[in-house]
Chain A
Amino acid sequence: MGNKQTTFTDEQLEAFQDCTFFTRKEILRLHGRYRELAPHLVPLDYTNNPDIRVPPTLIVTMPEFKENPFRDRIVETFSEDGNGNLSFNDFVDMFSALCETSPRELKTIYAFKIYDFNRDNFICKEDLKKTLNKLTKGELTPEEVTLVCNKSMEEADLDGDSKLSFSDFENMVSKAPDFLSNFHVRI
């Protein structure tokens, strides 16, 4: 941002730095990326915190999410209104939670939210099916899908209520070797 115009006040930048895992430069870069999505919508000057939301259809075109099977869910999870419209705050929040330095606990919480398609704070079999179909692009037969869902439910569901609560999910993910390295978006 070579412009002379200030995007954020120092105070705002510091607040963002305290609230996220980003440096000043990265926040400015994020703003640049955010603005790139909808240049006519997002002003350069953010010092007075305009209440602007970018619709999900634009967000998911970002190269970071373009190929992600869960892109819609990610955007929905991090948007405050639940429809995927992201304010700049939400936008920063999203990348902060997904960045490399954010801790496992935080990532686990957001991952749970993402995989919880129907937003009931449980991952039920329907959620599992949706996840699986998104992961395999629907190339498994229905029988296979059912088998896999049953199997994973069996593995992870500790209390036997045939849906995964957050603690079940946390328990399962905390032991996964690849979770941290995979649940991570670099901007």
Chain B
Amino acid sequence: MEIDVASDSGSEGRFVCFSLSLLLNQVYSFTFCGLYYYEARRRFRKVRAKPQRKFKPVSDQEDDEDDEEDEAPRKRVRKKKVKPRDSDEEEDNQSVKRKSSKAPRKKAKEESEEESEEEREKRRKRGTDLSKKKKEDQNKEKKGNVKGKPNKNMGGDHDKKKKSGKLSSSSSASSISGEESLSEGEIAALKEQVEEKKKLIATLRNKPWRMKKRLVLLKDAQGFVETFEGALGKGKGKKLYAFKVLMTKILMGLPYGSIPRKTVPREEQDTAMDFSVLIDFGVRKVAPCSNLHSFDAYLYQQGFCKYSFLFYGYYNNDRTIGVLKFRLPLSYLLVGVGIFGYSLMVVIRTMARNSNEGGDGGEEGEFTFSWKMFTSWDYLIGNPETADNKYASITTSFKESIVDEQENQKDENIHLRRFLRVLANFLITCTLGGSGYLIYFVVKRSQDFAKMQQEKLSWLEKNEVEFVMSLLGLVCPPLFETIAELENYHPRIALKWQLGRIFALFLGNLYTFLFALFDEVNEKLEKEKSIRNATIWNLQQYHANYSSYFNTTDVPPPNVSPADVIRGPCWENAVGIGFVKLVVSDIQVSYLTILVGDFLRAVIVRFLNYCWCWDLEAGFPSYGEFDISGNVLGLVFNQGMIWMGAFYAPGLVGVNILRLLSSMYYQCWAVMCCNVPHERVFKASRSNNFYMGLLLLVLFLSVLPVVYTIMTLSPSFDCGPFSGQDKMYDVVMETIEQDLPSFLANIFTYATNPGLILSAVLLMLLALYYLNAVSKGYQRANLDLKRKMKMARDEEKNRRNNKDSTNQVMKDLEDLLPNKCLIPPPIAEEPAPLDAVITKGSKSPKIKPGAAVKGVNLQKDVSLAAPNPRAAVTCAPRPRGGPPGNSRGPQPGPGRGRGQGRPPRRHEL
């Protein structure tokens, strides 16, 4: 960037002189263009073609450069504005002129292209020129370079800087022309520039500039990068291509029907593919059904799904499969556990990002009115009806805030309110407890039912658990809402309470269900033992019989069809089935609710309204409201069920994806056709950490039981990938022992030593404590800074008269005023003498910000920046230069975007 700085900050006279010498030296320079022979030739031709242009575009070229370095022109413009600008007219004129010169964009483009080339050439030539003329300067330059690098932004004395900048430009240019040996520093500087340009290109879209300016800048920067990057031997930029590792096969192991666990047992085969049975995959059957003619009999068979890949039992326990030695049991375990880890990471990261963005409402109440004013309108609204709703809701919310504000002063009967709140909480706790007990009772009863004759049970009795759970989920939330009326909380707080309660209800129900399930699992484990013993005994019998009959010790395995093998109860499958049933019934209930509760209601309200005694639409039933927060909560809860169930029923994930996809369209339809917007819109956006917090809690709570079963219960002996192991995690141990080098196994043994783990936990606790303390400290510091900032702002008002606004954002803001983006900056003046500055300093206090005429002029006088470092001007202002990249780049030195080179005199030696 220094090149540009230098050429830009150069005074007019110098510039002309330079270009003259450049022209003279043109020929020389071309002879040196080793690397860029071709390009040079091209350019040479161009220049030859119109040699007279060379001089004329001086101003033009300056424009161009100025565009490239947005800093410079602005600063100069500003400088000029020290004298109060008479009006916009001048500016308008300028811009008009400019426009007329640039209006035909094609021409402008062409020009800029040529100009940039010329410019480059000039730089190069300047280099040769200088290098010839001033040998001794180069020594200086090197010094300057070395020195100048770290504080490039700060800059030295402006005169000096100009020189060193020029010199460095010369040197970099010469380095390209290959005339002299390249010093590393120069290459580095050039590289830096290229990087800066690249960064500019990458961030261009984030800048608040007019599109025209952006396009011009982009062109320049691209030209620069292309030219110099090649010179640095980098090519078009190295791109890293990520290689995708493709699984050649999805290895599921043996296909259906090859081994017992993948086969439907003989007695169930007749009915396994019937549709009703497919849906009814879960029902446990004890006795083979004798009465095949009765319809009920079909219903109670076990379905095909139970033996499909949807469930745990389908997967085998072969250590490795296929040529690739795919370790199915190991990957099953690792994926199952890895999903938890990944989900945890995603949730935590989202939460962290949300809180970084400050959108978690931590400072609620600080900006009630201003937020309502500036951020409440949803720019997405394009529908007149929605717009009307929004207007109304904004008006109400303003009115409510006003009332709140007025009520803040009043105090009321606090005892009554407290009593009511306690009462409400008591009632809700009772409801929660009752629902928990109900579920426990029902689950217990269903276990009794399972032992009875299936045919005797009605549909209701068989599906009682799911039915009751769904019903509770349907009835309780409205009940809570009614009770919450007692509390008389602020709506937002009330909503959170409500959501918290519903959440507690869901979770309580789920956990009760889970405990009941555990009872069943233990029962099954008992049963499994006896079946296992029986099987072993049978096998021994078979062996004994076979050897005695054929008189041989070489006994072949018994020839039994996979469908006829005796098998254990496989508790894992039972758990998986439980969850799948839960999810499926949840889907059914929610779909039915929408159909009945929303659609039917809407139809009735709409059409019966013609012949009813009161207004149905405005009165009692009215249309259903779309309850955003409730729906989000439903999603959260659903996700929890998936997390819990996915380990024992991998297919659940797929089922859930289908459910989510279909429910998106279904609910979309329902919302569009039969719902009215919620009276009080509460944003349930992603940026809300409340929901993310709930999700995190759910995740934690669903990990618990799964990890518990993995760590403590022993897997079934004849089903699932872990069959035959004592514990599920033995798979990992086995892999470590057999497939990894022994030293790794040793390391693992050490790492799992309780002593080590304990100390690690201790360390983590200490770190937690430390970080907590640190964050508290930061909070305090934050508050402190806020106070200081306020003080500083007050102070700053006194210094407002200092015009030289140095804030980048402020400049951009000014720049966005109509017709200002491309104003040619005033020609750089000669560095003002020191006394001029003094007069300026003494004059400025007279111009008061408020007293400025009006409108556009005003902002010129007032700085948005933090206390202006230039308050006390001690040195001559220099025409500032500096490309945009510079001001934003990670340059050393404080005050980014602030006056490019605040030249501390001591830097210049």
| A→B interface (CB under 8 Å) | 15, 18-21, 48-49, 51, 63-64, 66-70, 77, 79-83, 89-90, 92-93, 96-98, 102-106, 109-113, 115, 118-122, 128, 131-132, 135-137, 139-140, 144, 147-148, 151-152, 155-156, 158-161, 165-167, 169-170, 172-186
Contacts and interface: CB of A to CB of B under 8 A. Distances in A.
B380 interface: yes
Given A156-B370, A158-B789, A159-B793, 13 more contacts: A18-B205, A63-B382, A69-B377, A115-B374, A120-B854, A121-B814, A121-B858, A132-B373, A135-B377, A156-B367, A166-B809, A166-B864, A178-B685
Given A49-B106, A136-B395, A21 B864 contact: no
Instruction: Count chain A CB atoms within 10 A of each CB in B366, B371, B797 and give the residue with the most.
Output: B371
A66 B379 CA distance: 10
B731 interface: no
Contacts of B89: none
Given A69-B377, A140-B399, A181-B685, A174 B358 contact: yes
Closest 10 CB pairs of A and B: A82-B818, A49-B105, A89-B211, A159-B793, A121-B859, A67-B387, A152-B369, A152-B370, A93-B211, A19-B214
B865 to A, nearest CB: 8
B527 interface: no
A103 B206 contact: yes
Nearest to A22: B205
Contact of B816 (A51, A67, A77, A136): A77
Interface string B196-214: 0000010011111011101
A132 B401 CA distance: 14
A155 B105 CA distance: 47
Contacts of B794: 159-160
B382 A135 contact: no
Contacts of A119: 817, 855-856
B215 A19 contact: yes
B813 interface: yes
A159 B864 CA distance: 11
B399 A181 contact: no
B215 A80 contact: no
Contact of A67 (B382, B401, B405): B382
Nearest to B395: A136
A95 B657 CA distance: 33
A15 B378 contact: no
Given A18-B218, A155-B366, A68 B377 contact: yes
Contact of A140 (B359, B380, B395, B797): B395
B688 A177 contact: yes
Nearest to B387: A67
A131 B819 CA distance: 25
Contacts of B817: 82, 119
A120 B858 contact: yes
A122 B859 contact: yes
B72 to A, nearest CB: 21
Contacts of A97: 208
Nearest to B687: A177
B487 interface: no
Contact of A80 (B210, B384, B402, B810): B210
Interface in B180-224: 201, 204-208, 210-212, 214-215, 218-219
Nearest to B789: A158
B816 A182 contact: no
Contact of B375 (A92, A96, A183): A183
Interface string B92-120: 00000000000111100000000000000
A96 B205 contact: yes
Interface of B: 103-106, 201, 204-208, 210-212, 214-215, 218-219, 357-361, 363, 366-384, 386-387, 391, 394-395, 398-399, 401-402, 405, 683, 685, 687-688, 789-790, 793-794, 796-797, 809-810, 812-814, 816-819, 821, 854-856, 858-859, 862, 864
B856 A19 contact: no
Given A67-B381, A119-B855, A166-B809, A135 B394 contact: yes
Contacts of A48: 105-106
Contacts, number: 223
Given A131-B373, A151-B369, A166-B809, A144 B789 contact: no
A82 B820 CA distance: 10
Contacts of A185: 379-380
A139 B390 CA distance: 13
Residue among B371, B373, B381, B864 with the most chain A CB within 10 A? B373
A66 B371 CA distance: 23
23 contacts: A67-B381, A80-B819, A89-B211, A90-B210, A92-B211, A118-B855, A119-B855, A121-B814, A121-B862, A131-B374, A132-B373, A135-B395, A136-B394, A148-B369, A151-B369, A158-B793, A159-B794, A172-B371, A177-B687, A178-B371, A178-B683, A184-B379, A185-B379
B205 A21 contact: yes
A182 B736 CA distance: 53
A98 B210 contact: no
A166 B207 CA distance: 16
B204 A19 contact: yes
B111 to A, nearest CB: 13
A122 B858 contact: yes
Contacts of B386: 67
Given A15-B219, A135-B373, A120 B358 contact: no
Given A120-B854, A135-B391, A155 B370 contact: yes
A155 B370 CA distance: 7
Contacts of B398: 132, 136, 140, 144, 148
Given A120-B856, A176-B375, A181 B687 contact: yes
A63 B683 CA distance: 24
A9 B376 CA distance: 40
Nearest to A132: B373
B379 A182 contact: yes
Nearest to A174: B358
A181 B363 contact: no
Contacts of A128: 373
Nearest to A184: B379
A177 B367 contact: no
Nearest to B383: A67
A15 B789 CA distance: 41
A29 B579 CA distance: 47
Contacts of A182: 375-380
A106 B864 contact: no
Nearest to B103: A51
Given A20-B205, A80-B819, A155-B366, A68 B371 contact: no
Nearest to B859: A121
Contacts of B368: 151, 155
A173 B208 CA distance: 17
B645 to A, nearest CB: 33
A136 B796 CA distance: 36
Query: Which of A19, A105, A118, A132 has the most CB atoms of chain B within a 10 A radius of its CB?
Result: A19
Contacts of B819: 80-82
B369 A51 contact: no
Contacts of B382: 63-64, 66-67
Contact of B360 (A79, A106, A109, A177): A177
A121 B813 contact: yes
Given A82-B818, A166-B810, A182-B379, A104 B357 contact: yes
Given A128-B373, A155-B370, A109 B796 contact: no
A19 B205 contact: yes
Contacts of A135: 373, 376-377, 391, 394-395
A147 B401 CA distance: 11
Given A18-B201, A140-B399, A177 B208 contact: no
B210, B369, B821, B855: residue with the most chain A Cβ atoms closer than 10 Å: B369
Nearest to B359: A177
A167 B864 contact: yes
Nearest to B371: A176
A166 B106 contact: no
Contacts of B359: 175-177, 180
